[in-house]
Amino acid sequence: MNQAIDIKVPDIGDFKDVPVIELFVKVGDLVNPEDPLVSLESDKATMEVPAPHGGVVRQIHVKLGDAVSEGSLLMQFEGMGAVVPADTAKPSVSAPPSPVNAPAGLAEIRIPDIGDFKDVPVIEIFVKVGDTVKAEDPLVSLESDKATMDVPAPLGGVVREIRVKLGDTVSEGSIIMALATNDAPATATAPAAPALLAAPAPAAPAVTSPSGVDEAAFRLAYAGPAVRKLARESGVDLGKVRGSGAHGRILRADVEAFASTGGQTAAVPATKPASAPAGGGTGLDLLPWPKVDFAKFGPVERKELSRIKKISGANLHRNWVVIPHVTTHDEADITDLEQFRVQMNKELEKSGVKISMLPFMMKAAVATLKAFPEFNASLDGDSLVLKQYYHIGFAADTPNGLMVPVIRDVDRKTIPEIAREMGELARLAREGKLKPDQMSGGTFTISSLGGIGGVHFTPIINAPEVAIMGVCKSFWRQHSSDGKTWASRLTLPLSLSWDHRVIDGAAAARFNVYFANLLADMRRVLF
């Protein structure tokens, strides 16, 4: 006899009020045990709730976007004796799933919010298939050009599948592994669901399209197990499907649409044009890089670039090639400011804060940015996004390479506060412990080589910012304003690089003069 069976959300760890992001069944569907019913997405994991029993879907009690927790009623099945496996054949009409026959969960673990970072390489994988992990155990380590980040397990379980390998690049939302939670089979070879209504899907590799599927992109595609299975069965290269779900999640409908159009409409272009348009001037038709056997000329040693150097190199290269840089040099008279700085350091000696020239430059930069708002902006297509906040980055030299921590709201901080924060961020940078949010959101950068030397240099703009101020070591020079009387003045060399798509030379020269005048007399910052 048919029975009404309540299907509830099983144990999903500490998660509560998790939105339903996908419904895999509709009223009237015939479902096998273990078939996915709904997909839930917290900020840290995507979980598919499988059917604990076979049956026909009689009622669905949730809709997309509804928030559910353990025990929430999802749907009702009309159970049919023939499809209920023996060990789960006694569903009570209203009893919540017991620990024994609660539907086992498969949680897909995604990269959480990692700030503005994208395409960050996986540099370490701490677990292997079959390992049992607890919530908060580290799963993988990522390394951007600016920080190393461990991704912890958002919930406990057994690692069922690892979908990344060392060197793969991931972004927020990329799926890195699948965890069997609760009573889910710990290995892919122990499926619990007897297939009574339909033949089980063949194992993934057997149905994979033999050609053209980019396995790495497939692994990283943002999609749940049911959609992956469908993609495998349909021979769809998941890495090429654009997701229409929240945060770009690939839905069943996306795979179906992709498959129905022969993979044409939603495909991401896989290749660049073979060559630049003739005469268009948009391609770089360069000679190949010279290949030289240096050892022919003398002894050499080969040393691999650090990972941070490799990645920051790629960013610097992009910025250098894409942004039409111009650098305007100038000088600031900091004689009085230096005297004041030395005096303040004496007064603050006991507080433990030591103030270099850089915090003063930050304050002067904010006042200058307020006067020249297009320098505190980013290009977005044909628009300029003018920011009304002043987060100033500073280049920090570290043993691993260049990093740019950001001090937020410099306009609202005192000089000692800026100095203290800068010291702390520089320390974290040197120890490789900066967090993504400590390096994001900058609106303008200062790169100071003043503690080292140099006269002028041409700093590379830290995209998507539009300008960067470089400063070198101050020096004493004889100065005259009338050619008759001369005085020794402490002079700070300035090198402002600016994006010529946004800023004109006259504005850049004015920016430097304004900035220099503020440093010459910091009282002007008050105006």
Which chain residues interact with ligand CAO by CB under 6 A?
356-358, 394-397, 402, 426, 447-451, 459, 471, 473-474, 492
Q: Say if strands 444-448 and 392-394 run parallel, antiparallel, or are unpaired.
A: parallel
In the bound complex, what is the minimum distance in angstroms from residue 488's beta carbon to ligand CAO?
15
- Which residue, judged by CB position, is nearest to ligand CAO in the bound state? 450
Structure tokens at 128: 């292997």
Closer Cβ to ligand CAO, 46 or 447, answer by number = 447
Torsion of CA 217, 222, 226, 231, to 10 degrees: -40
In the bound complex, what is the minimum distance in angstroms from residue 502's beta carbon to ligand CAO?
21
Closer Cβ to ligand CAO, 239 or 393, answer by number = 393
- Exposed (0-12), middle (13-18) or buried (19+): which is 82, by Cβ within 10 Å? exposed
In whole angstroms, what is the distance from residue 211 CA to residue 226 CA? 22
Other Cβ atoms within 10 Å of 398 Cβ, number: 17
In the bound complex, what is the minimum distance in angstroms from residue 477's beta carbon to ligand CAO?
13
CB 500 within 8 A of CB 326: yes
In the bound complex, what is the minimum distance in angstroms from residue 402's beta carbon to ligand CAO?
5
Determine if residue 209 is left, alpha or beta; phi over 0 gives left, psi from -120 to 50 gives alpha, anything else beta: beta
Alpha helices, H only, 281-334: 307-322
In whole angstroms, what is the distance from residue 255 CA to residue 233 CA? 11
Which of 61, 247, 456, 500 is flagged as catalytic?
Answer: 500
CB 158 within 8 A of CB 1: no
In whole angstroms, what is the distance from residue 408 CA to residue 213 CA? 44
Closer Cβ to ligand CAO, 141 or 517, answer by number = 517
* Active site (annotated) includes residue 53: no
CA-wise closest residue to 57 among 69, 43, 75, 45: 75
Complete DSSP assignment for 25-94: --TT-EE-TT-EEEEEE-SSEEEEEE-SS-EEEEEE---TT-EE-TT-EEEEEEE-GGGS-GGG----SS
Phi/psi for 268 (5° steps) reads: -80, 135
Closer Cβ to ligand CAO, 3 or 356, answer by number = 356
Closer Cβ to ligand CAO, 101 or 443, answer by number = 443
In the bound complex, what is the minimum distance in angstroms from residue 150's beta carbon to ligand CAO?
25
Closer Cβ to ligand CAO, 389 or 476, answer by number = 476
In the bound complex, what is the minimum distance in angstroms from residue 501's beta carbon to ligand CAO?
21
Phi/psi for 37 (5° steps) reads: -105, -50
Closer Cβ to ligand CAO, 157 or 493, answer by number = 493
Structure tokens at 511: 């920016």
Residues that are catalytic = 500
